[in-house]
Structure 1
Amino acid sequence: MPILEKSSAIYDKRLVVKKLFARQQHEGFGAVVRRSIGRFEFRYFDPFLVLDEFSVSAPAGFPDHPHRGFETVTYMLEGEILHEDCEGHKGVIREGGLQWMTAGKGIVHSEMPSSNSNGITHNKGLQLWINLSSKHKLVEPSYQEIESKDIAETEKDGVRVRVIAGEWNGVKSKICTRTATMYLDFTLSPGSRISQPIPFHWNAFVYVLQGQGHFGDSKLQHSAAAEHHLLVLGLGGDRLEAWNGSDSGLPLRFILVAGEPIGEPMVQFGPFVMNTQEEIDETIDDFENFRNGFEKARHWKSQAASALGLF
């Protein structure tokens, strides 16, 4: 999808130009996701490929699968997920924690509910796929992992912000991004509001996690949205205005994500994202023949998936 046209040159605030409800669908092994970006009517929002709000309960999950050419950002909202890969990396993403994985030239991994989840039956989170430019698509795989207690967080005037990537009011994230990205988790108490700067030419969206809020311009045009809704923000402004005008007394929680468009051709085949069909064909060949980044996947099976008898 091309960069959306400017909403209006006279506005300094970003207006909502598309609203989507993320319907449930099945993915992986018995997992349920609410996909907003990456579904048939909204395939690509440069540089964002997929946004899933996922829910998994053991033994469901996302067993061994490959990636190449992009990054995955996993942000746990509830419970925890065990991650393993063919390079030998293994760990747990716990509630409130973050994993920023650069798949680069190739990785095969699994994401399954942890066996040490202390009786937690619902494991929920967000996974965002971010495209990489051609110069970064074949870098070595790498991880940035941050526990909940180490994520930059601040609160002011009834607004609490967790800074996943970028910065807010001088508070900066520890995450380094290859594709310039801002990722903020806002919680607004009733009656509170924000006016959040967004780089003028970046594509941006909101995804509502809890409550109901208003987004746009309080004096001219705004859109109300409740949980599980994605709001695409048009260009033509340098900030998002949002507020919690609820009479219910409930907080409003949403993520605001913005990124600098890459502006390159994009061809996707499932978990592989490259610039041309020829590169996709080469990727499939590399994966099937365990080479050029997939060598260690030849004899690897994840412990979590193997314990369930999936392989």
Structure 2
Amino acid sequence: MKARQVIEVQRARASQDGAGVAIQRIAGMRHSGMDPVLMIDELRSEQRDDFAAGFPPHPHRGMQTLTYMKHGGIIHEDNQGNRGEIRGGGAQWMSAGRGIIHSEMPTQDSQGLHGFQLWFNLPAAEKMLAPRYRDIPAADLAVHDSKGRRAVAIAGDWALDDATISGPLVELVPQADMLDLTLAAGDRLMVDSGADQTLIAYVYDGSLADPRGSIAARHLAITGEGDAWELRAGEAGVGLLLLRGTPLREPVANYGPFVMNTPAEIEQALRDYQSGNFGT
């Protein structure tokens, strides 16, 4: 077994998206260490003004979105006739495929709003397939509580020392797996991966202990080669999103909400959208 090491740490940048929604963003459109993850946005606030205007109708092509809520909810509507709503946590997954126009409107609960939207790349062969959508209520997510740990599996199979849990979002696999993990102060957990897979962690609470220094909240840890990574919680414990996936190693051309392989494909996406033929 070859142990993975953290080789890079990225800090999330404060930004806005949609109609002025406050976010913390990790961008990785052409980052080989994040492939197939393209972007990670964290939405977290107790102030309704930070997110009330939401994300009005906008297009996508050539990628997948995964919205995962820990607190609060979100309402999705699109031009394919889909409407979904999750409250009190849960996930919404969408594969934009050849094109979709959708809106997302956040809602808060007694603990405010805390969630994430992640973009995952699609293989070139799947970028022009029909769009798809799925809601996953919080009650349908796989949860494992043990010895001060809490793991919520959204996608993929995860071995957690004394248990294995499997996330219900099979549509994201085999591109990527995702686990929401909380560890108590000083706890350690070995996470397995394929030697050629990407394995990264976005810290949203507490910190990860690492030989190169503590990795604090709102930072992304990117690991190097290996088939296992020992996670070690810091003095206040840690809450993180763990992402594992198979790199596509394909060219990435992007413009706003479109992610294709060549500039010519981006130009075609713009023409299709502007002509009113988007998503048909």
The TM-score, its normalising length taken from structure 1, stands at 0.81
**Equivalent position to 1:198, from 193, 197, 202:** 193
- Are 1:287 and 2:273 matched, yes or no? yes
CA distance in 2, matches of 1:243, 1:164: 22
| 1:99 aligns with one of 92, 98, 106 | 92
1:240 paired residue number: 229
Q: Where does the alignment leave 5 or more consecutive residues of structure 2 unmatched? A: none
Q: Which among 158, 161, 185 is matched to residue 180 of structure 2? A: 185
Q: Residue 82 of structure 1 aligns to which amino acid in structure 2?
A: I
1:235-269 Cα shifts (integer Å, max 9, x gaps): 2x1111112241xxx43111110110111111111
Matched-pair contact (CA < 8 Å) for 1:137–1:274: yes
The answer to whether the aligner puts 1:89 opposite 2:62 as a matched pair is no
Give 1:36 deviation, angstroms.
1.2
Q: Contact (CA 8 Å) 1:160, 1:187: kept in 2 or not? A: yes
Shift of 1:93: 2.5
Deviation, 1:191, is 2.9
Report the secondary structure of 2:86's partner residue: strand
Aligned 1:20-35 pairs, distance under 5 A: 20-35=10-25
Paired residue type of 1:128: L
Q: Which has the higher strand share?
A: 2
What's the counterpart of residue 207 of structure 1?
Answer: 202
Letter in 1 for 2:126: H
1:267 aligned residue (253, 264, 273) = 253
Give the distance between the partners of 1:211 and 1:185, measured in 2 at CA.
14
Structure 1 residue 55, shift from structure 2 partner: 3.9
> Which residue of structure 2 aligns with residue 67 of structure 1?
60
Q: Which residue of 1 aligns with 2:150?
A: 160
- 1:157 shift after superposition: 3.2
Q: Return the TM-score normalized by structure 2.
A: 0.89
Paired residues of 1:77 and 1:124 also in contact (CA < 8 A): yes
CA distance in 2, matches of 1:153, 1:272: 34
Letter in 2 for 1:213: L
Aligned residue for 2:169? Answer: 175
Contact 2:156 2:176 in 1 (8 A): yes
Q: What's 1:307 paired with?
A: none
Cα shift at 1:123: 2.3
Which deviates the most, 150-159 or 126-135?
A: 150-159
**What amino acid is the match of 1:173?**
G
The whole-number CA distance in structure 2 between the counterparts of 1:285 and 1:93 is 33
In structure 1, list runs of 5 or more residues that go unmatched.
Answer: 1-10, 216-220, 296-311
Does residue 125 of structure 1 match 2:115?
yes
| Corresponding residue to 1:50 among 21, 39, 62 | 39
> What's the CA shift for 1:42?
5.7
Aligned-residue identity in percent: 37
Q: What is aligned with 2:215?
A: 225
User: SS where residue 126 of structure 2 aligns?
Assistant: coil
Output the CA distance in 2 between the equivalents of 1:50 and 1:225: 19
Letter paired with 2:137: E
- Counterpart of 1:67, as a letter, is H
Q: Please say if residues 200 and 242 of structure 2, whose CA atoms lie closer than 8 Å, have aligned partners that are also in contact.
A: yes
Q: 2: distance between equivalents of 1:71 and 1:44?
A: 18
Q: 1:109 and 2:95 equivalent?
A: no
Structure 1 range deviating more: 88-97 or 69-78: 88-97
Superposed CA RMSD:
2.2
Matched AA of 1:28:
G
Rg (Cα) greater in structure: 1
Partner of 1:6: none
- Partner secondary structure for residue 27 of structure 2: coil
Name which of 256, 262, 266 aligns with 1:276.
262
Shift of 1:46: 1.6
Q: Which residue of 2 aligns with 1:303?
A: none
